[in-house]
Amino acid sequence: MAKVATVITNWFEDVEFTSPKEALEAAGHEVITIGLKAGEEVVGKRGEAKVTVEHSIEDVKPEDYDALLIPGGYSPDKLRANDDILEFVRYFAQKEQPIFSICHAPQLLVNADVIRGKDLTSVKQVRVDVENAGGNFIDQAVVIDPSGLISSRTPDDIPQFNEAIVNALAK
């Protein structure tokens, strides 16, 4: 089964982490949290989810993972200032390994400069960032780019998003 890295810090959108994690684990995959400091407890923006970061970004290698999950909320905006996080994201894009992006997650992809020419979606207010970075914005519940990038707009789309990411790893 797949080993899925999740880059996360405070103020992630609670359900955009917890629901995909549950769906992936129910399908037999392992979900590992990676953040700025191992052992740090990060809290979702709604205060409903608390997550202990398992590994610091400085202590991991992207080649040890099969896919990348980026929950939305304010976490991607905070993480996109970190060069190690950006390099980690670039690895998955360059190798065309699955990247699962929801809501505000494309902010991290924009700073990693990995969406030029790719089809994706996001929450409405990130659309201009996606287009300015050369991405092809498509306003639908789930967008699957041939490169392995699977994106979704908001928590309302989570059922379709979860189905798409589980199916992607079943191949």
Which residues make Cβ contacts (< 8 Å) with residue 128, sequence separation at least 6?
none
Q: Which residues are catalytic?
A: 103
In one-letter notation, the amino acid at residue 48 is E
Question: pLDDT digits over 45-77, tens only?
Answer: 999 999 999 999 999 999 999 999 999 999 999
Token pair, residue 61, equals 């290698």
Look at strands 55-56 and 30-35 and give their pairing.
parallel
Query: Tell me: the pLDDT tens digits for 135-166?
Result: 999 999 999 999 999 999 999 999 999 999 99
The label of the residue with tokens 């709604």 reads 46
Instruction: Give the single-character DSSP code of 155.
Output: G
**pTM (2 d.p.):** 0.98
Residue 171 in this model has a pLDDT that exceeds 80 = no
The residue type of 73 is G
Architecture of the domain defined by 3-170: 3-Layer(aba) Sandwich (3.40)
CA atoms within 13 A on the CB side of 81: 6
Residue linked to tokens 């670039």: 90
